[in-house]
Structure 1
C-alpha cells in the first residue's frame, strides 16, 4: 500500500502517494548554468517532448504563408477553383494541427517548470534541515522566504528556453531556408538582421542583469528587516523601539525604491527596443520584397509569403528575447539559491559516532570551566547573557568545542544520540503552525493528561483556557496569535514534555511577571528532581530554586555555590542579581 503524504492531489481529496514524488537528486552546485543543466538532466524525456512539441508548433506556424502563397498563385491568379479549395483546406488542417500541438506544448512546458520549481524547493528544504540550527545564524528568515517565494519560480522559468527557445532557433533556420528558395537577397537580409538585433539588445541585457542582481540583494535585506519587525512587533511596542525600526525600514525601503527605479529604467529601454526593432526589421524586409515584386523578380504570392514569413519570424525572435530576459532573472535567482545550498553545516562532530555514556554522567565544558553534575539543577548567571548562551550552545553541541560527557568527547558521539538525550530550548525555538496539541507534541506520542501536566509546570494553563478549542485550537506560525509570555511558556512546556535526560533552558522565564516566574521556578525544580537541568538567567526567583549556581565573569567560571552563598560572598553577584547591572564585574579577589 502506498504511503500517502496527506496533501490533496489534483484528482480530488485523495492524498498524493509518496511514490508519485520524484526523487530530488543531488544538485550540481558548481555554478548557475550547471545547476540549470541539472534541472534539465533530471527530467530528460519530458524536456525532449517539450522541445519536440515546441519545434513542431513553431514549424507549424511557418506553413500557413507557404499555403497562402500557393492559394494565391495556383488558385486566384490561375483562376483555378479546385486548387483554391485544396489549399484552403490545407490551411484549415494546418491551423487545427498547430492548435493541438500548441496545447501539448503548453502542458508539457508547464510540467517542466513545475518539476524544476518543486525540485529546487525540495533541495532547499532538504539542505535547510541539514544545516539545522546554524541556518538561522547565517541566513535571515526574510532572505530564505524570498528565495522560496520568488526565486524558485524565476529559476523554473529559465527552462522555458528548452522548449520555445529551441523551437524558435529551428523555426528561424527553417524560414531562412524557405526565403533562400524565393530570393537569396531577402534571405541574406533576414539571416544577418537577427544577429544585428542581438548585438543592439545585448548591452541592455548585460546592464539589466547587473542592476537586477543589486536590486535582489537589497530586496532580500528589506524583506528580512520587515520579517524581523513583524515577528517582534509586540516587543518593539513594549520597549518603545517601534519608531526606530520604522525609520530603519523607511530608509531601507527608500534605498530599495531607488534600485527599483534603476532596474525599471533599464527594463523600459530593454522592452522598448526589443518591441520596436523587430517591427522596423519587418518593415525593411517588406519594402525590399515589394521592390522585388515590382521588378518582377518574385511573384505576388511569393511577396505575400515573404511578408507572412517575416511577420511570423517576429514570434521566434520575441521568444528568444523574452527567453534571454528570463535567463537573466533566473541566473540571478540561481546564484541566490546557490548561496544557500553551498552553505556547509557547522562542523561540531568528528564523525566517529561512538556510543554515548551511561545515564547519570557528568557534562564538562572546559572553555568556560562549567561542570554539570548529573541529577541536579544548575543555574548559569553572567552580566553578559551571550556568555551563558554560548556555554549552552557548547554543552548542546551546537558549536564546536572540547566538551566531554562522561569522559567521552561530545564531538565523538553520534549527533542523533546527542539530540535525543540533550535538549536545548531557547526563546528563538521555532513554533510551527498547527493545533496547540501538535505544537506541544509534534510526534503525537503523549496523552492529553501529560500535555496538561507539562503546561501546568510551565505556568501555561491559561494558554489552553484562553483559546476557543483548548488543545485543538489553531496556533499560527511562530505563535503569532500568542503573547510573548505565552510563546515562552509554550516552548518551555514543549521542552518539558520531551523529558530529555539533560535539559538546557536559556532564560525560560524572562518574559513573565514575578508571580508567574516564582510559580514556574518552584514547579520546574520539583518536576526535574533527580534529572539533569541547566537554566540561564539572572532572576533571583529562578536562581533561588537551583541546586547550584555558577557565576561567569568574562565567559569563565568565577564562583560556584548556592544562591544564598553567592549573595553572602560575592558583591558582584549581588549587584548583578538585584540591580541587573549590565556591566562586567571583575573577578572577586
Structure 2
C-alpha cells in the first residue's frame, strides 16, 4: 500500500475505469453482439410493416416465402446474438467481481492504520456486495450502447416514414433521460448510505457473535442486542428510503416511456388518417412504438445502475486505499538476533525500553491491561511504526525497515483472542498443511484431552469461531497453533486466562521446555508462566519499573505480590 503522506484517496470513478479498461475486449464483443440483438429486434416491426406494404401490392406466394424467410433470419439473429452476447458479458462480469473480491479481502487481511474506522463485518460486505455491484459496470455499458442502437434504428426508420415521427422519438428520449439523470443522483447517494449502514449492522453482528458468551456471563446481552436493534433499524429505514426512491424512479421511467410510445402511435395514426404515410408504415410505426418501450426502459435504467456501481466503488476505495499499519520495508532480520524495544511512546506506553536476548524466555507482568494490549499491538505491527515514538528492532533491524513477510516469518504475536476457523483441530493448528510439529504443540498446550475425547482425534470437526469448543479449549487450540509455527521469536499475550490453575501450571512448564533455545516473550499475569520465565519485567505506568525472577519479586516487591498472587 502507498505511504499515507503521498497517498491520495482513490475515487470510485478510478476503480470503475480500471474495471472497464481490463475488460475492453469482452465489452467490445458484447457491445457488438448486443447491438446486433437490438438491431434485429428493431428490424422485426420494420419487417412486418414492409411485408404488409408489399403484400398489399403483390400477393404472390413467392413474396410471402421471402417475407417468412426474412423473419426467420431476424428471429435467429435475435436468439443467437443475445445468447452469446450475454455469455461474454456475464463471464467478464463474474471474473471482474472475483478480482475485486480478492483485492478487497487481501487489503482487509492487512491491519489498517488506527484512524481507519472499518470493521471486519463492513469489509465482508464490501468484498461481496460492493464488489459484485462494481463489476456490474461491465454489463451496464454494453447494454447502454445496445439500447442506444435500438433507439437510433427506430428513430431513423420512423424518420424515413415521416420526419416528425423520427424527431418525436429523439426529442422524447432526450427528455426522458434528462429527467431520470437527475433522479439517479439521489439513488446513488442513498444507496451508498444504505450500504454503509448495512455494513455497520453486519459488523455489529460479528462483534456480538464473538462476545456472546461473555455478554451472557455478566448480563450485558440485552444491552448489546438493543444496540444492534438500533443499528439494524437505521439500516432498515435507509433501505426503505432507497426502495421508495427506486420505485419512484422505475414508475417515472415506465410512465414516460409509455407516454412516448403513445405519442408515436397517435401521431402515426393521425398521419395515416391524413394519408401522409401508408398502411404498412402505420403498422411499422405502431410496432416500433410498442417495441421501443423495452430498450427505452433499459436505456433509462442505466444511469441508476451506473450510480449504484459508482457508490459501491467508492466504498471499495475505503478498503483499497486504507493506509497499512504493517511494515513496508525490504530488509530481513538477522537470524538468531534479539528483540529490542527502545524508548517506545504510544498510548499508555511512556518510553518503554527492554531487550529479550536470543533464546531467552522473558515474561512481562503489566499492571495496566491497556498497556499490555498496546505493547502486543506494536510488536504485531498492528500499530504502524510511524505512529509511535521510539523503535522496535527484530534481529538487529528496525521493524519499519522489514518487509511484512520477513516480520511474519521471524516474529509471531499470538493474541489472547486468537481466531478459530471452521475446519478441524488439525487444520486450525497447521492451516497450511506444511507438516509442522503438530503433536508436540498439542502436547505442550495440553490439548491432548480434547483430541482424546473424540474418535476422529485431530480430524475432529471445528465449527466457525470454535462454536463447539469451550473457552479454554479455544484458547489452548490457539496456543497450539502458535507453538506449532515454531518461529524464531514468539510473543504470547495472556495465553492461559481461560484454563484452570493445574492445567496452566503444566502449560507453563511445557512452553518453557518446547521453546528452549528460542526467543519467547509472554505478556501475562499468570503466576505459573511468570515462574517459568528466565526473568520477569514489571510494566507499570508505561515503563519497566522492576526486573528479576518471579520468586525474587514475590519476596521483595509488595505491589508485585498483590498484582500476581492468586
Alignment of 1:139-538 (within 5 A): 139-346=118-325, 348=327, 351=329, 353=331, 356-359=333-336, 361=338, 363-367=340-344, 368-399=352-383, 400=385, 401-405=390-394, 407-446=396-435, 450-538=437-525
Cα offset, 1:134, TM superposition: 6.2
| Contact 2:104/2:319 (8 A) holds in 1 | yes
- Is the 2:340–2:392 contact (alpha carbons within 8 Å) kept by the matching residues of 1? yes
Q: Distance in 2 between matches of 1:155 and 1:327?
A: 9
- Residue 507 of structure 1 deviates from its aligned partner by 0.5
Contact 2:338 2:519 in 1 (8 A): no
Matched-pair contact (CA < 8 Å) for 1:352–1:414: yes
Of 546, 551, 569 in structure 1, the residue corresponding to residue 556 of structure 2 is 569
SS at match of 2:391: coil
Kindly provide the CA deviation profile for residues 89-148 of structure 1, in whole angstroms up to 9, marking residues without a partner as x.
31122112211111111211211211221221222234345x357699853111111012
SS at match of 1:163: helix
Task: Tell me: CA distance 1:230–1:410, structure 2 relative to 1, closer, same or farther (3 Å).
Answer: closer
Q: Distance in 1 between matches of 2:394 and 2:280?
A: 90
| Inter-partner Cα distance in structure 1 for 2:39 and 2:278 | 23
TM-score, reference length from structure 1: 0.87
Q: CA deviation at 1:227?
A: 1.2
> Bigger shift: 400-409 or 133-142?
133-142
Contact 2:338-2:356 at 8 Å conserved across structures: no
Residues 381 and 174 of structure 1, relative CA distance in 2, 3 Å threshold:
same
Residue 20 (structure 1) aligns with: none
How far has the Cα of 1:508 moved from its partner?
Answer: 0.3
- Answer with 307-316 or 415-424: which moved more: 415-424
| Equivalent residue pairs, number | 547
The alignment partner of 1:549 has SS state of: strand
**C-alpha distance in 2 between matches for 1:423 and 1:248:** 35
> In 2, are the aligned partners of 1:365 and 1:395 still within 8 Å (CA)?
no
Shift of 1:468: 4.2
- Residue matched to 2:54: 74
SS at 1:403 equivalent: strand
Q: Check conservation: 1:50, 1:162, Cα contact below 8 A.
A: no
Give the Cα–Cα distance (whole angstroms) in 1 for the partners of residues 114 and 81 of structure 2: 46
Secondary structure of the residue that 2:292 maps to in structure 1?
A: helix
Change (3 A) 1:156 1:133: closer
Q: Is the 8 A contact 1:379 1:548 kept in 2?
A: yes
CA distance in 2: counterparts of 1:531 and 1:142, whole angstroms:
37
Match of 1:402, SS?
A: strand
Q: Which moved more, 1:212-221 or 1:521-530?
A: 521-530
Task: Provide the C-alpha distance between the structure 2 equivalents of 1:94 and 1:105, rounded to a whole number of angstroms.
Answer: 16
Provide the C-alpha distance between the structure 1 equivalents of 2:380 and 2:10, rounded to a whole number of angstroms: 33
Stretch deviating more after TM superposition (367-376 or 455-464):
367-376
* TM-score normalised per structure 2: 0.90
Question: Contact 1:388 / 1:555 at 8 angstroms: preserved in 2?
Answer: no
Cα distance, 1:126–1:255 mapped onto 2, change above 3 Å: closer
Structure 1 residues 122 and 514: CA distance shift in structure 2, 3 A: same
Counterpart-to-counterpart distance in 2, 1:76 and 1:482 = 83
1-side partners of 2:396 and 2:63: how far apart?
97
2:42 pairs with one of 57, 62, 81: 62
In structure 1, which of residues 546, 569, 575 is the aligned counterpart of residue 533 of structure 2? Answer: 546
How far the C-alpha of 1:184 sits from its partner, in A, is 0.8
Would the alpha carbon gap of residues 197 and 390 (structure 1) be closer, same or farther in structure 2, given more than 3 Å must change?
same
Instruction: Answer yes or no: is the 8 Å Cα contact 1:432–1:476 preserved in 2.
Output: yes
SS of corresponding position for 2:516: coil
How far did residue 315 of structure 1 move? 1.8
Q: How far off its partner does 1:398 sit?
A: 4.3
Can you give the 5+ residue segments of structure 1 that lack an aligned partner in the other structure? 1-27, 580-589
Which protein has greater RCO, CA pairs closer than 8 Å, 6+ apart?
2
Residue 96 (structure 1) aligned to one of 76, 80, 92: 76
Q: Is the 8 A contact 2:326 2:404 kept in 1?
A: no
